[in-house]
Structure 1
């Protein structure tokens, strides 16, 4: 009995513990045999890139992606050219100072002609007469901040009122530019004015609006109306002299070409109408900020 027990212990093989039949394996058994293949791996994946047909399909897909990218960029450039947009922001500190002085004191300026170099207009940093979008953009942002400060001083500030003020100012510029483009089209006025040019000239009014609101906050209604009169007259003079060089300068070239074009007085009407509309917008957008 003793021998049998010892013999049983000596001859009985030691069994390997097996996992429960219902539970998953936490680790693969790598003690013997080759490592198992990853689950879900296709044996033909490794040879995919070696297949000439697969390589040709990938090259064709890449060419299609590049063509699609070119088409998207072309469609974007139809409505907004990035290169043209960069031109209107090519400014420096010296240009900004000279342009602000020109907007506030345009009466002593003599040469209003935009300069060209090889049929290409010079950038704003090299020509103070060139339109830009930097000053209108920064003036618009400053106007919104100043409007919020004015409303806060009068204890009338709220996010809704400030948002309404910003959206109203933006909508007025869009309407003004659309009306100007439609007028030029209906009167068949051929000019090199682009949409960005019209946005720039329409946006210069925010410089006068900032001055008007500041004078109204500092000096009351008398300072407000004095600044309104000065900024309106200066802006009207600036727009008439600037657009006159661009709109009327092309009349002689149109008259020698084929087709009908607007008469000179129609072009003057467009210029004066745009200039005369500026004081109305300035008053509409600033009167409620000064009380």
Structure 2
């Protein structure tokens, strides 16, 4: 039944533009004004370009290029050659391989060596052990020189000196730097003077510069003991402990360097051996006697 015919109303036809607007208004999901490109270059055509794989990315195309692989291999070879050249030139000036030998220590060796530096009187065998014409590592031989104790002794001495100055209200950063620089300068002067004396006397020995640095650095142990005793017991404790450590380091240096400096005397003639033997003995005594002098010179102003 047509109600419009009886009621007299006519159905009005809308223009095409009005019909499109009405349809878009009634839609529950409006179309976006812009495309979402936040997911990457392939997000816009995800539904249409799924057949395109990851080979379309420029980075993966570059990695799959044979020329890029060749360039990476060539760069790696250049880096390895440069590292070998640097290690070779560095080892020429700083013997890294030799330094590793002087730091090859363990806790047992350090404890025994500290005891030997403070109580060297009961030790009998002072010869360094060898294996296939090369000295064994310090952790296997207590008589072998090392650099661990001298380096740690130097650092500890500087810290103890700062503590001693702080207890007397005399601590400043400049004074701490002066303590470290003066101790280092005197050590260098001592080693250079020993090398010059060995050259003038023409002593053929297996002592190296690093050995002399190690032996000269052992005196820091006695210096630390003296300063700590001075902080705990006053000047009396300082003098008593420093005197003990000075005698100990003197005996230690005499018994150690005697085998190093006088080792070639047996292979020479009687006349030559008698003349040079005295010079070598004087040199050994001088090196050993210099240790107590430096120990007192570098510590007497720290205890009051």
- TM-score grouping bracket, smaller chain normalisation: 0.7 to 0.9
> How far apart, CA to CA, are the structure 2 residues paired with 1:100 and 1:26?
69
Corresponding position of 2:290: 277
Unaligned runs of 5+ in 1: 20-24, 36-40, 257-261
Indicate the residue corresponding to 2:65 in structure 1. 50
Residues 57 and 169 (structure 1 numbering): CA distance in 2 closer, same or farther, change over 3 Å?
same
Q: Partners of 1:163 and 1:222 in 2: how far apart?
A: 27
Find the residue that maps to 2:191 and give its secondary structure.
helix
Q: Which residue of 2 aligns with 1:22?
A: none
- Equivalent residue number for residue 244 of structure 1: 258
8 Å CA contact 2:227–2:303 kept in 1: the answer is yes
Q: Indicate the residue corresponding to 1:123 in structure 2.
A: 137
Give the equivalent residue in structure 2 for 1:178: 192
From the CA coordinates, give the structure whose radius of gyration is larger: 2
User: What's the CA shift for 1:175?
Assistant: 2.6
Secondary structure at 1:46's aligned position in 2?
helix
RMSD over equivalenced CA pairs, Å: 3.6
1:135 to 144, 149, 154: 149
Q: Counterparts of 1:30 and 1:3 in 2: how far apart (Å)?
A: 43
Q: 2:119 is matched with which residue: 105, 127, 130? A: 105
Distance 1:182 1:11, change over 3 A: same
Q: Measure, in 2, the Cα distance between the counterparts of 1:33 and 1:186.
A: 91
Point out which structure has higher relative CO (alpha carbons under 8 A, 6+ apart). 1
Closer, same or farther in 2 for the Cα pair 1:126/1:50, shift >3 Å? same
Where in structure 2 are there 5+ consecutive unaligned residues?
Answer: 1-10, 25-30, 51-55, 270-274
Tell me by how many angstroms 1:201 deviates.
Answer: 0.5
Deviations 1:212-265 (A, max 9, x none): 213323343333333333322221221122112112213456x59xxxxx9434
Assess, with a 3 A threshold, how the Cα gap between structure 1 residues 271 and 56 changes in structure 2: closer, same or farther: same
State how far apart, in whole Å, the 2-side matches of 1:111 and 1:32 are.
87
How far is 1:203 from its partner? 0.9
1:194 corresponding residue in structure 2: 208
1:278 CA displacement: 1.4
Cα distance in 2 for partners of 1:264, 1:6 equals: 128
Structure 1 residues 3 and 252: alpha-carbon distance in aligned structure 2, compared to 1, 3 A threshold: farther
- TM-score, normalised via structure 1 length: 0.77
Shift of 1:196: 2.4
Q: Is the 8 A contact 2:112 2:142 kept in 1?
A: yes
CA shift in 2, pair 1:29/1:55, >3 Å: closer
Please show how residues 1-291 of structure 1 align to structure 2 within 5 Å.
6-10=15-19, 30=45, 46=61, 49-51=64-66, 54-252=68-266, 263-291=276-304
State the alpha-carbon separation in 1 of the partners of residues 207 and 181 from structure 2: 26
**What SS class does the counterpart of residue 249 from structure 1 fall into?**
coil
Q: Aligned partners of 2:70, 2:81: CA distance in 1, in Å?
A: 17
Determine if contact 2:91/2:97 at 8 Å carries over to the other structure.
no
Give the Å deviation of 1:56: 4.0
In structure 2, the CA distance between the partners of 1:200 and 1:42, relative to structure 1 (3 Å rule), is same
Structure 1 residues 193 and 43, CA gap change in structure 2 (3 angstroms): same
Deviation of 1:47 (Å): 5.4
- Decide which moves more: 74-83 or 193-202: 74-83
Give the corresponding residue for 2:53: none
Q: Secondary structure at the match of 2:299?
A: helix
